[in-house]
Amino acid sequence: MKKIIFLLGVLFFSFAAPAQPNYKVVFDLTSKDSNDQKAVIRWLNEVSMAEPTAQMEVVMYGQGLDLVTKGKSAVSDDVVKLAANKNIAFKVCRVAMKAHNLTENDLLQGVQTVPDGIYEVISKQREGWGYIKVKN
């Protein structure tokens, strides 16, 4: 009888205990505006401080590549620092890179590439990730 009561108690408290947040968000950046660059960096920092396990990804295409391009980024040191965080990814569209005559050597350290930025955003949404359009 004690075992049954113990198991029921464990079962009750396992359901009653607050679940760990499943915070996943993809940021869509298509602007080269330095204010938009600063905004997404600020948001990444704020979210990671509030919820250290949050998974975040910044996807850049169109004019958004300046965020992670050497010599063009207004926040290059921040990008490199945040890209080192295992829960934060910066992903650049290879189609946009080709259109802007950029190679992987032009990107800041830790930045990854994806075949298509729009497809990456849609894929994340399909996996249940939240979506934020970066526009300050």
Reported as a single tens digit per residue, the pLDDT across 52-89 is: 999 999 999 999 999 999 999 999 999 999 999 999 99
Average pLDDT, the chain: 88
Of 96, 133, 92, nearest to 110 (Cα)? 92
Average pLDDT for 97-122: 97
Average pLDDT for 28-49: 96
- The pair of three-digit structure tokens given for residue 46, joined into one six-digit string: 């704020």
Q: Inform me whether the pLDDT recorded for 43 exceeds 90.
A: yes
Reported as a single tens digit per residue, the pLDDT across 4-22 is: 443 344 444 445 445 556 8
CA angle 34, 134, 88 (to 5 degrees): 95
Mind listing the domains of the chain with CATH numbers?
21-133 (3.40.1260.10)
CB of 110 within 8 A of CB of 84? yes
Q: What is the DSSP letter of 17?
A: S
Give the per-residue pLDDT at 22: 87
Give the per-residue pLDDT at 96: 97
Q: What is the DSSP letter of 128?
A: T
Give the per-residue pLDDT at 20: 54
Q: What is the DSSP letter of 13?
A: H
